[in-house]
Amino acid sequence: MTSCETRRGIVCGLCAVTLVLLCEPSRSDAEAIGGPAKVEKGQWVLGLGGGGLRKRRMKGGADASLYEVTHFRGYGLTDRLTLYGDIGAAYITVNDSAVPSTVEKGFGANLFAAVQLKLKLWENVRHGLEWDGSAQYLYAGVPHKRDNNQAGWHEERLATTLAKSFGDFTPYLGVELSAVQFDYKFRSDKFSSDGTYKPKGVVGPVAGMSWDVGEHKDTVLAIEATYVNGAEVMVGLSRRY
């Protein structure tokens, strides 16, 4: 099996897991993007998210930006372990001096899909402290062939965060490891280029907050920012049932 076929299989499997989550009955529950996992065993999460990665630096002098809008759901496998799935749309663009200025550097509309496991590692209820870890794989691109520019963004993320609760407001800080393989094809009348971008750095800080709102405190507003050789901001709105 070729590496292309392997990646296509991973993407298909990722979409299948996400669709299973999305097709479950909507007794849903919503959740913050990257902070404390507040989902108990058997609960569901339903929410909308969006944001963007701005000019992440790649080896060779290029930088890449990715913007997405997603629908996400999660399920509490245990009181400590939660599985999430995201599906949506993404736009990717590149700034690369090796590509002629006359060539379009955007990659149009793309599928966005992600799977994440979030684990509560430790908790101190008395002081409102919680230590979490998460692992995520995400894909942005078009699995089928295009005649024009085509992208395949593959990213693996590992993160750990420490949160402190102040009533309904919970800020958190942590560290993220983010490895990207960005396969690309540029196509125009006078220029053609295929290759792979790799990031210059893979580790950076993460900070965010979640805010429980609503009469029953079952709606969560969350914002998260990371910097791994490029700034990324994510916003999410979700609800628990």
Of the candidates 86, 156, 80, which has an alpha carbon nearest to the alpha carbon of residue 118?
A: 80
Instruction: Select 3-240's CATH number: 2.40.128, 1.10.260, 1.10.3470, 2.60.40.
Output: 2.40.128
Q: What is the pLDDT of residue 74?
A: 92
Per-residue pLDDT tens over the stretch 110-133 = 999 999 999 999 999 999 999 999
User: What is the pLDDT confidence band of residue 13, given thresholds at 50, 70 and 90?
Assistant: low
Beta strands in the chain (DSSP E): 44-57, 63-76, 81-95, 106-124, 129-141, 150-164, 169-187, 192-197, 203-213, 219-227, 231-240
Q: Reply yes or no on whether the pLDDT at 38 is more than 80.
A: no
240 or 188: whose pLDDT is higher? 188
pLDDT for the residue numbered 11 = 55
- Predicted TM-score of the model (pTM): 0.85
**Confidence at 144, pLDDT banded by 50, 70, 90:** confident
Residue 30 has pLDDT above 60, yes or no: no
Looking at residues 194-205, what average pLDDT do you find? 96
Going from N- to C-terminal start, the domains of the chain cover 3-240
